[in-house]
Amino acid sequence: MQAKTDILETPVRYFKGVGPKRCEHLLRLGIKTASDLLYYLPSRYEDRSNFTAIKDLKTGEKQTIRGEVLAMSTRLTKRGMPVFEMAVGDKTGRIPAVWFNQPFLTKFFKVGQEIILYGKVERFGALQINQPEYEIIKEDEEASLHIGRIVPIYPLTSQITQRYLRGLVYMAIAKYGHYLADRLPTYIRARHKLADIRFAAYNIHFPSSFANLDKAYKRIVFEEFFMLQLAFAIKRRNIKAESGISHRLEGALIKSFTANLPFELTKGQKDAMNDIGRDMASARPMNRLLEGDVGSGKTAVAAYALVLTVENGLQGAIMAPTEVLARQHYLVLSKLLMPLGINVALLARGIDESLKAQALNEISQGKVNIVVGTHAVIQEGVEFKALGLAVIDEQHKFGVEQRAVLRRKGKNPHVLVMTATPIPRTLALTVYGDLDVSIIRELPKGRRPIVTYWVDEDKRQKVYDFIKDEAAGGRQAYIVCPLIDGSASIEGSVSKGAATKSATEMHEKLSREVFRDYKVGLIHGRMGPKEKAKVMKEFRDGGINILIATVVIEVGIDVPNASVMVIENAEKFGLAQLHQLRGRIGRGDCKSYCILLADPRNENAKKRLMAIEDTVDGFEIAEEDLALRGPGEFFGASQHGLPEIRFGNIVKDFSIMEEARKAAFDVVNRDPMIRDEHHKYLRDTIVSRFKGRLELIRVG
């Protein structure tokens, strides 16, 4: 068995026609071995299989003809460039074929040969076929690679030609293809009607028909997705195999919590609480994602889970990505839970050392029931007496490792992660494949919808007047800028451009001129934690009318009295980000307005602004964003842990992903330790592919 795989690792330098220079060029494409060649997939295909009769050739299109070389000649252009011309004929007519600057072709062809040409037909007086690709038909050659068939086109750099690579790939298949071992068990292939791997390898490069190409593609993508989903299934099994802390769901504390909530829960919130209750009551650790648009009320759901764990004599922790947000959670949770006799503590930067030491002490003794904080929560020195539940808010702002550290602060605690980034269905299986998911779809009743306008620069004065009107009515406004200051400091993932607005400059200008008579505040990521907290408190208390900000206010901030948000250079933000920002308003009972000041340079940017203007549904926006930007960009630089996908397209091939997921979870169900003889290859693949990369992957 071992030998079989080794032979596929034969270096390409042993291939005919591969010298040191070519080796280097191939390396740049990531091709080192025979196996690399086999898995170097075409980016597209050209159908050169249908021959067009010469009399039916159309101007301006690429077409394939088959005929006989009738005559050849070479002439020079005025500038001295050699032009090789050939007359080709079939039963229906004749046409000249023309090549520039390839004088060696004179020796390559002979009059009377049968040839195939593929190229663009153009009219210069008469029709001619320009710079066509060519193939001489030799009777003994089993199949022509470059023409007269569906031809693979590879993603290449300029040093390597399609023709050359095609030849190499063909050699690799002819010589090594039959050593490819099928990693998918036969029963899975049979059940999902998947082609054999050798068939797939051949047909993905040199398909004998489009139907066979589809089969080959599905087979290769299925295998890729299947292995990913198998990793998820194993990870999930590992978590579920741990014993968790089974919680009682009934008790005085949880009763008075629900009775004292200042609002009626939405259906989505109730459903999510039920899901969470079921998870926490079970003897397995919860590993759940709570997904809900901004303002959907995830905090109350988290509070429910936290109270459950406190009721059961354990501690809860909630970790947020920014200090501002952590402090806000602290405020909200204290107000909600302190009256019930629950002790809430805050851990964040900028807290006095002595207070912090005291908090740490109380946490370790179990006197603190709930810890709210930033990354400070997962630092060394924070020791819980008994952590029963870890909540991670805006979880996409944290890395996998940080989540794992929090989990390890307890003994198999329940874990709830929350996000306001609606993940399109097509991505969820790839990104959150190992989590159970609850989704809150609706916003609480009585919310006034946010009205969004996209305006350009000449409306600026009007926008300012509008802010003044709102301020006169006692409302507050945000003005969000992409930059902190005029220098290169970029907040978040926004790119700087010529007229990009900066928060400090805006603040200076507006507070001195336009909004002289108002209280104008400033907040950005480079301010100290205490300073930020002070500004936010002032804004919340109504001491600031207009807050100039960067995207530090993107997540979680909740000031119901703010009714206007102006976003400067809105074209520079992603859709999801704009939606997040906009979620800061419309939180009270006043009608709210989001004004996008933008000067979009291209169609795509315009489309994005129109999408955000048209819809307030985060899921719709996410789908749109995904369609416009693709999965990689969709997540930007954030640490979503989008796994590397080489062959398939997680959006377009969603149905294959679903099928592969079912199959993978089925395997783990029947054979949890992946020990069966017929799963041997699966096991080997998973171990070598994911070892150390996915948290908690353990096989056997």
Of the residues 166, 219, 298, 475, which one makes contact with ligand ADP according to CB under 6 A:
298
Nearest approach, Cβ of residue 508 and ligand ADP (Å): 32
Of 342, 602, 609, 563, residue with least CA distance to 469: 563
Q: Amino acid letter at 305? A: A
Closest contact distance (angstroms) between CB of 552 and ligand ADP is 16
Query: Torsions phi, psi of 643, nearest 5?
Result: -70, 155
Binding partner of residue 294 among ligand ADP, Mg ion, none, CB cut-off 5 to 8 Å per kind: ligand ADP
Number of residues that bind ligand ADP (CB under 6 A): 18
Q: How far is the CB of 256 from Mg ion (least distance, A)?
A: 23
CA atoms of 439 and 57, how far apart (whole Å): 57
Q: Could you tell me if 234 and 674 are in contact, meaning their C-beta atoms sit under 8 angstroms apart?
A: yes
Task: Please state the closest distance from residue 645 (CB atom) to Mg ion, in A.
Answer: 30
Q: Which two tokens stand for residue 268?
A: 């989505």
**Least distance CB 556 / Mg ion (angstroms):** 4
Q: Which is nearer to ligand ADP, 187 or 263 (CB)?
A: 263
DSSP collapsed to 3 states, 443-478: CCCCCCCEEEEEECHHHHHHHHHHHHHHHHCCCEEE
Which backbone phi and psi does 699 adopt, to 5 degrees? -115, 120
* Nearer residue to ligand ADP within complex by CB, 166 or 579: 579
300 binds, among Mg ion, ligand ADP, none (CB under 5 to 8 A by kind): ligand ADP
SS3 at position 42:
coil
Per CB under 6 A, 421 contacts ligand ADP: no
Given the complex with ligand ADP, which of 336 and 660 has the nearer CB atom? 336
Choose the one of ligand ADP, Mg ion, none that binds residue 625, judging by a C-beta under 5 to 8 angstroms depending on kind: none
- Given Mg ion, ligand ADP, none, residue 263, with its beta carbon under 5 to 8 Å by kind, binds ligand ADP
> Helix (H, G, I), strand (E, B), or coil: what is residue 71?
strand
Pick 175 or 335: Cβ nearer ligand ADP: 335
Residue 37 or 317 having the CB closest to Mg ion = 317
Question: Beta strands 546-549 and 436-440: pairing type?
Answer: unpaired
Position 476 contacts ligand ADP (CB under 6 A): no
Q: Listing from the earlier edge strand, what are the strands of the sheet with 344-347?
A: 344-347, 370-373, 315-319, 387-392, 414-419, 287-292, 436-440
Residue 550: CB minimum distance to ligand ADP, A: 19
Of the listed pieces 34-42, 53-61, 296-304, 463-471, which binds ligand ADP according to CB under 6 A? Answer: 296-304
Site string for ligand ADP, 529-568 (x = CB under 6 A): ---------------------------x-x----------
- Binding map of ligand ADP across residues 71-110, x = CB under 6 A, - = no contact: ----------------------------------------
CB of 265 to ligand ADP, least distance (A): 5
- Restricting to residues 435-454, which ones interact with ligand ADP according to CB under 6 A? 444
Q: What residues from 580 to 609 belong to the interface with ligand ADP (CB under 6 A)?
A: 587
Give the residue from 419, 353, 341 showing the smallest Cα distance to 381. Answer: 353
Question: By 3-state DSSP, what share of the chain in percent is helix, strand and coil, each rounded to 5?
Answer: 45, 20, 40
User: By C-beta, is 48 or 587 nearer to ligand ADP?
Assistant: 587
Which is closer to Mg ion, CB of 556 or CB of 600? 556
Q: If binding is defined by CB under 6 A, does position 295 make contact with ligand ADP?
A: yes
Residue at shortest CB range from ligand ADP: 297
Geometric angle at alpha carbon 13, from 7 and 14, rounded to 5°:
55
Work out how close the CB of 296 gets to ligand ADP at its nearest, in angstroms, rounded to a whole number: 4
C-alpha 343/C-alpha 369 separation (Å) is 5
- Helix pair 162-176, 197-205: axis angle to 10 deg: 160
Q: For the residues of 370-408, what is the DSSP string, one character each? A: EEEESGGGGSTT---S-EEEEEETTGGGS-HHHHHHHHH
Distance CA 18, CA 24 (A): 10
Of the pair 329, 407, the CB lying nearest Mg ion is at 329
Q: Say how many C-beta atoms besides its own lie within 10 A of residue 590's C-beta.
A: 19
- With beta carbons less than 8 A apart as the criterion, state whether 225 and 685 touch: no
- Name the residues that contact Mg ion, by CB under 5 A: 556
Least separation in angstroms between CB 633 and ligand ADP: 24
Pick between residue 492 and residue 556 the one whose CB is nearest to Mg ion: 556
With CB under 6 A as the contact rule, which of the stretches 11-19, 290-298, 358-366, 526-534 interacts with ligand ADP?
290-298
42 binds ligand ADP (CB under 6 A): no
Q: Among 296, 402, 452, 502, which residue sits at the site for ligand ADP (rule: CB under 6 A)? A: 296
Q: Of 231-239, 292-300, 345-353, 600-608, which part binds ligand ADP (CB under 6 A)?
A: 292-300
Is the CB of 245 or the CB of 305 nearer to Mg ion?
Answer: 305
To ligand ADP, the closest distance from the beta carbon of 18 in angstroms equals: 57
Query: What are the DSSP E strand ranges found in 33-170?
Result: 44-47, 62-76, 82-90, 93-100, 114-124, 126-136, 150-153
CB nearer ligand ADP, residue 266 or residue 563 = 266
Report the distance separating Cα 322 and Cα 553, nearest Å: 9
Q: How far apart are CA 392 and CA 416, in angstroms?
A: 6
Distance CA 327, CA 584 (A): 16
**Which residue's CB comes closest to Mg ion?**
556
DSSP designation for 492 = T
Cβ at position 333, least distance to ligand ADP in Å: 11
Residue 265 interaction partner, one of Mg ion, ligand ADP, none, beta carbon < 5-8 Å per kind: ligand ADP
Smallest gap, in angstroms, from Cβ of residue 580 to Mg ion?
10
Least Å distance, CB 252 to ligand ADP, is: 23
Task: Report if residue 300 touches ligand ADP, rule: CB under 6 A.
Answer: yes
Q: Which two tokens stand for residue 349?
A: 């930067």
d(CA 160, CA 257): 68
Q: Which of residues 251-280 bind ligand ADP (CB under 6 A)?
A: 263-266, 269
Which range, of 206-214, 293-301, 481-489, 603-611, touches ligand ADP by CB under 6 A?
293-301
Three state DSSP letters for 411-455? CCCEEEEEECCCCCHHHHHHHCCCCEEEEECCCCCCCCCEEEEEE
Coil, strand or helix: which one is 121? Answer: strand
420 is an interface residue for ligand ADP by CB under 6 A: yes
CB of 354 to ligand ADP, least distance (A): 31
Residue numbers of the site for ligand ADP (CB under 6 A)? 263-266, 269, 292, 294-300, 420, 444, 556, 558, 587
